[in-house]
Amino acid sequence: MAKSKVYLHETIDIVGTGSDAYKRATASLGLGRSDGGAPLVGTFQQSGSTGEWPKVVNLWEIGDWGDWARSLDKQYTRASGQPPELKRWWSDATAHRSGGFDRILEAAPFSPTRAELLEQRVQGLACLQEIATTLPGQAERYLEEVEAHWLKHAARRGLRLMGAYTTAMRDDEAVLLWCLPGFRQFTRHLSDVRTARTTRRWAARARKFRVSYRETLLVPSSWCVVHPDFRDAPPEGETDRGQ
């Protein structure tokens, strides 16, 4: 089922009021890359009204499994060593973060790539993130159901697909990202998601594969490919690069 591309999904624990500074630092590392490293798909603020705070979520398009192997070599093997720019970035970033939780994601065949999101002009100021726990071994099947029975109805409700993934190294978790034009469309979706006929029908089908799920609102920064003001360049004055 999986595409060749894999992604790194990070949930970052932010220190104090360091969210904006950390997102800016992330953009300085991940945008406008010419070194072959993983490009940044986006850096988001998780809305505190829908989940833990302060949190930043990052999504990186690694490439394929070979690309991840090369990234691991640079991070952990003595022979290659960490590039000085990246070592400095990691050191500086500790001022704004205290830890986090990462996932390696495998894209479903219908999940748009970073380039496709830009080509198709998928844009908005609100993103809905779903992290679903499925029955054992049913994560891929759940995403197949999303494609066949929910995708077109979601689009009619203003949700454009940003990503659909299974989590590597486990078989019972899927991650979905949806982009909406703004917060009014987001709350309109929530207002009848439990009562509208199409959403009730989808929920009944989803329960055959999905044990539970958690949704949060992610607010894209201007350094996200879906933000209307996105430019694929590091913040002005910041050009350091690392892997």
Q: Select the more confidently predicted residue: 174 or 71.
A: 174
Residues whose CB is less than 8 angstroms from the CB of residue 142 and which lie 6 or more positions away in sequence, other chains included = 132, 134, 174, 206, 209, 210
pLDDT band for position 79 (cuts 50, 70, 90)? low
C-alpha–C-alpha distance, residues 95 and 127, integer Å: 27
Cα 200 to chain center, whole Å?
26
Cα 194 to chain center, whole Å?
25
pLDDT at 212 over 90: yes
Residue type, 155: A
Q: Could you confirm whether domain 114-220 is CATH 3.40.50.300?
A: no
Residue 136's pLDDT is what?
98
- In the chain, ranges of CATH 3.30.70.100 domains: 6-107, 114-220
Cα 243 to chain center, whole Å?
19
- Which residue reads 């624990």 in tokens? 13
Kindly report, residue by residue over 111-159, the tens digit of the pLDDT.
999 999 999 999 999 999 999 999 999 999 999 999 999 999 999 999 9
Q: What is the CATH number of domain 6-107?
A: 3.30.70.100
